């Protein structure tokens, strides 16, 4: 079993590298200060905007925001790394941009509709040009943190198995999950004698999603990032499932796609209806994996932040009303957090199970 753990560590490092790439190139930073339009009246500026409040917390950003008290902001600055065709490579801390209010070395956070929330370079004529953006955003930094947790889990448990030590401590907590993935997902779905080579991938996917789901429920760093509620992250995870399925496919798998036995001849020639449907199915399956994980995790965060918003919405009407609804709102938020805790495990399980089903279909023998 320790060999599977070693392979899981290698797969996780490769997978994490691909997860980081799309996050480094495109994301939104919807800082509350950036969303204020200069043409608004003072009254409109002070009025609470629930949309901005919610999306500030579920979207990615160039800094790890902790709290704001009026004009005082507490946040952890993150590295901004950009490459400009005009001036070359630049790196600096996001604090140099002062929450999007300032520019530094000719760069600033755009507030135009097309590139809102992204780093742009200001040309001499005042136009904005997007540089290549390799910045360590909040979600990217959160992936680094989850990598640290997972490497620690896998390596420490693998060493105990390698040294043939009796299970103890944290290993006792992790072993039921590992055996569950092996005995209740991999073996029955992929098949006895075939599941072993897929175990490292399945373990990596399950624990990567689970750890990031759980960290997303923690309101303060190192938690609070919406990693698995990001389409770029879930898209890369689904892409790896598609690649493993495609590479694993045997001749019977491809025969079912391009020349399905038992299908009427008129559905194959002259219009290859069934092959077209099967090929589309190859891509819709991972697409569903991507959207399901993203939608469930993002929706949970949005609902929880929506309950918090009720306090400020009612407080804008009558301050005492805001205090009055606070206990009820907090009660609903705690309830939603408990539900999200369950969803964190369920979504990791569903993604792993469906991936195993696709692998099992790809290597199934003809009957």
Share of the chain above pLDDT 70, in %: 82
Q: Which residue has the tokens 């001499």?
A: 124
The Cα 193–Cα 333 span in angstroms is 46
| Eight-state DSSP code of residue 266 | G
Q: What is the pLDDT of residues 78-113, one digit of tens each?
A: 999 999 888 899 999 988 888 777 888 889 888 887
Q: What is the pLDDT of residues 203-239, one digit of tens each?
A: 999 999 999 999 988 888 888 888 999 999 999 999 9
pLDDT band with cut points at 50, 70 and 90 for residue 4? low
Q: DSSP string of 308-336?
A: HHHHHHHHHH-HHHHHHHHHHHHHHHHHH
Pairing of strands 88-93, 107-109: unpaired
Q: What is the pLDDT of residues 105-136, one digit of tens each?
A: 889 888 887 777 788 888 888 788 889 999 99
Q: What is the mean pLDDT of residues 143-171?
A: 83
231 Cα distance to chain centroid:
6
pLDDT attached to residue 44: 45
Least trusted range by pLDDT, from 4-13, 62-71, 332-341, 349-358: 4-13
Q: What is the mean pLDDT of residues 52-63?
A: 81
How far, CA to CA in Å, does 56 sit from each of 156, 177, 266?
Answer: 37, 34, 54
Q: What is the pLDDT of residues 287-297, one digit of tens each?
A: 999 999 999 99
- Can you give the pTM of this predicted structure? 0.81
Q: How many CA atoms lie within 13 A of 43 on its CB side?
A: 1
């Amino acid at each position: 079993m320790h060999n599977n753990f070693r392979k899981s560590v290698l797969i996780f490092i490769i997978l994490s590298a691909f997860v980081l790439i799309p996050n480094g190139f495109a994301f939104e930073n919807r800082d509350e200060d950036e969303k204020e339009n200069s043409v608004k009246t003072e009254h409109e500026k002070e009025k609470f905007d629930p949309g901005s409040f919610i999306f500030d917390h579920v979207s990615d950003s160039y800094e790890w925001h902790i709290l704001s008290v009026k004009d005082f902001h507490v946040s952890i600055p993150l590295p901004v790394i950009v490459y400009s065709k005009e001036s070359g490579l630049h790196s600096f801390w996001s604090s140099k941009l002062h929450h999007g209010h300032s520019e530094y070395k000719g760069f600033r956070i755009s507030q135009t509709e097309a590139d809102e929330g992204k780093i742009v370079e200001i040309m001499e004529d005042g136009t904005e040009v997007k540089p290549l953006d390799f910045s360590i955003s909040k979600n990217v930094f959160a992936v680094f943190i989850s990598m640290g947790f997972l490497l620690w889990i896998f390596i420490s448990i693998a060493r105990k198995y390698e040294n043939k030590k009796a299970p103890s401590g944290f290993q006792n907590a992790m072993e039921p999950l590992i055996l569950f993935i092996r005995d209740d997902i991999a073996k029955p779905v992929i098949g006895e004698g075939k599941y072993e080579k897929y175990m490292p991938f399945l373990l990596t996917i399950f624990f990567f999603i689970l750890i990031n789901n759980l960290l997303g429920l923690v309101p303060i760093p190192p938690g609070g990032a919406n990693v698995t509620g990001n389409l770029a992250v879930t898209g890369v995870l689904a892409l790896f499932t598609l690649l493993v399925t495609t590479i694993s496919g045997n001749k019977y798998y491809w025969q079912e796609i391009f020349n399905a036995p038992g299908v009427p001849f008129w559905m194959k020639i002259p219009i290859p209806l069934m092959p077209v449907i099967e090929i589309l199915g190859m891509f819709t399956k991972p697409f569903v994996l991507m959207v399901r994980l993203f939608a469930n995790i993002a929706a949970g965060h949005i609902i929880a932040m929506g309950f918090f918003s009720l306090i400020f919405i009612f407080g804008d009407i009558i301050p005492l009303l805001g205090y009055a609804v606070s206990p009820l709102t907090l009660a609903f938020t705690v309830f939603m957090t408990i539900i999200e805790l369950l969803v964190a495990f369920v979504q990791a399980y569903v993604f792993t199970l469906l991936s195993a089903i696709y692998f099992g279909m790809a290597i199934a023998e003809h009957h």
